Amino acid sequence: MPLTRAPAARWLFSLLWLALAPLAYADKDKAAAQPPKPAARTFPRAQLRSPEILWTVLLFHPSPPPEGLVASARKLLAAKYPQLNLPQVPGKPRPEAIVEPARHEDLDPIDEDLLPYIARSLGPEERKNLLKARQATVLSFRVPFEQRHEALLLATRFAHQLASEHGALLWDSETREYFSPRSWSEDRLEGWRGGPPFVPAHIVMHVYREGETLRLVSLGMAKLGLPDLVVEQVPQSLSNEVGRLVNSVAQLLAEGLVLGADGTLDVDLSKLKDGKLRGQLEARIQKGAPRRVKLQALEARRDQGDPDNPLLELGFPGTGELQARQVAALDALFGRAPDPITPVAPGDPELEAVAVKARARLVELRARVDRGLRPPEQLLLKAGFRTDDGNTEFMWFEVTSWEAGKWRGALANEPQDVSQLRLGSTVSVPEPEVVDYVYMSPGGVREGGESSLILMRRQGH
């Protein structure tokens, strides 16, 4: 009898990943028809760097601010941050900072339902205070590209000091996020003394589903005078890895990466200067990985909710299916790391009982799949796949649809001995072959996954 082997589950439920810009899942209508994607064009070289940077921070006041706040803020600006308002020199661009009260009619109502996504760093009491805010102060910054890093650091410090002194909460207009003074300092200022910042702390990635795949788009690169980045048709099982790729490219662009003559980006992790990102990527990079790949720099299509900033799509050169090219690029940067496997004897009664329960529960979950799963809602199934030597390797896949008695999705494990499949590969599995499930509800409650718990218990975990 062949030996069956089950890889440990790779859990894919977190909305954030270590050392990466946070993911903010957008609620898009799955049924909405997407316009056909136009033929890819090389990203215009002239748009890679903006000659002038505009950035706005709003300070929201939970209680009425003191009279003269704007005047005192201007004095602080002149006394401590004079480099943000240098004297005008004919023919030479200069930084400029403006402080003014926000007009009530310009303030949009704060949507409480969105706070878990756009105010992640605020505690419950801080969110209540934000919802009470009826007044705000506008900090507007205009910066030449050549002074972007120094001016952004000073502007971030100035906004923090002003918010701290007046008990205000901060809104970043580019990343569309709220912060307390404490979280603003921890996320945006800690460890930054000059030069390019740790870019993942200054951007956010919006992720939403289009059909069976995800679209990733960054927000916040405009503060650095650079285009925001887009990756199309990403299997959710690859979203963390593609996120690492996007953050690496964003950091390299901030550190001076330019377009090649052929319209490509030479992404070389050995050239990363930021020690924080470099150190955190080391935990993922496999020994012997090339750490380098060339990507196409394409002019991205624009979608509703995208930032008002040039959009650069990261393209994956080569032949074959897009997901295979994405995996090849990730392998080149980070190396391939097959998931560990645990030997299991065929017909294991405890695991067979789990399989029966799972298939019964899936009858109820079909309707949710038919309606369309909306992140963080997610369904993972485990099934057996034939190995190269005729055994069976059990792996998880993320469900994207159900039709005619088969579950379709993207593989969520990196196979050990199934050479025709890779992490992110599209698979189709008949219902009777499913042996376990994990369902994450829209409210973030997880159920299922009993087979993994059994295997972990047997291993003494």
Output the pLDDT for position 428: 95
Characterize 205-214 residue by residue with b for buried, 16 or more Cβ atoms within 10 angstroms of its Cβ, and e for exposed: bbbbbeebbb
- Domain 53-189 is of which CATH architecture? 2-Layer Sandwich (3.30)
Q: Is the pLDDT of residue 62 over 90?
A: yes
Output the pLDDT for position 216: 95
The arithmetic mean of pLDDT across residues 244-267, rounded, is: 97
Q: Which residue has the higher pLDDT, 252 or 212?
A: 252
Whether 213 and 424 have beta carbons less than 8 Å apart is answered as no
The arithmetic mean of pLDDT across residues 12-36, rounded, is: 42
The arithmetic mean of pLDDT across residues 230-256, rounded, is: 94
Whether 294 and 264 have beta carbons less than 8 Å apart is answered as yes
Domain extents in the chain? 4-13+340-458, 53-189, 198-334
Reading phi first (left if > 0) and then psi (alpha if -120 to 50, else beta), residue 379 is in beta
pLDDT confidence tier of residue 13, bands split at 50, 70 and 90: very low
The arithmetic mean of pLDDT across residues 206-231, rounded, is: 93
Nearest CA among 441, 385, 375, 369 for reference residue 418: 385
Output the pLDDT for position 424: 84
Query: pLDDT by residue (tens digit) across 274-327?
Result: 999 999 999 889 999 999 999 999 999 999 999 999 999 999 998 888 988 999
Compute the half-sphere exposure of residue 171: CA atoms within 13 Å on the CB side of its CA: 23
The arithmetic mean of pLDDT across residues 402-430, rounded, is: 90
Q: How far apart are the first and last CA of the chain?
A: 28
Record the pTM.
0.83
Residue 331's DSSP bridge partners are none
pLDDT confidence tier of residue 3, bands split at 50, 70 and 90: very low
pLDDT confidence tier of residue 24, bands split at 50, 70 and 90: low
Pairing of strands 135-144, 426-430: unpaired
- At 67 the three-state DSSP class reads coil
Output the pLDDT for position 14: 24
Nearest CA among 222, 217, 220 for reference residue 234: 217
On average, the pLDDT of the chain sits at: 88
Query: pLDDT by residue (tens digit) across 372-392?
Result: 887 778 899 999 999 999 999
The arithmetic mean of pLDDT across residues 354-363, rounded, is: 95
Q: Is the pLDDT of residue 182 over 80?
A: yes
Distances in Å between the Cα of 210 and the Cα atoms of 21, 195, 324 are 21, 37, 19
Output the pLDDT for position 98: 96
- The winner for highest mean pLDDT among 25-34, 290-299, 339-348 is 290-299
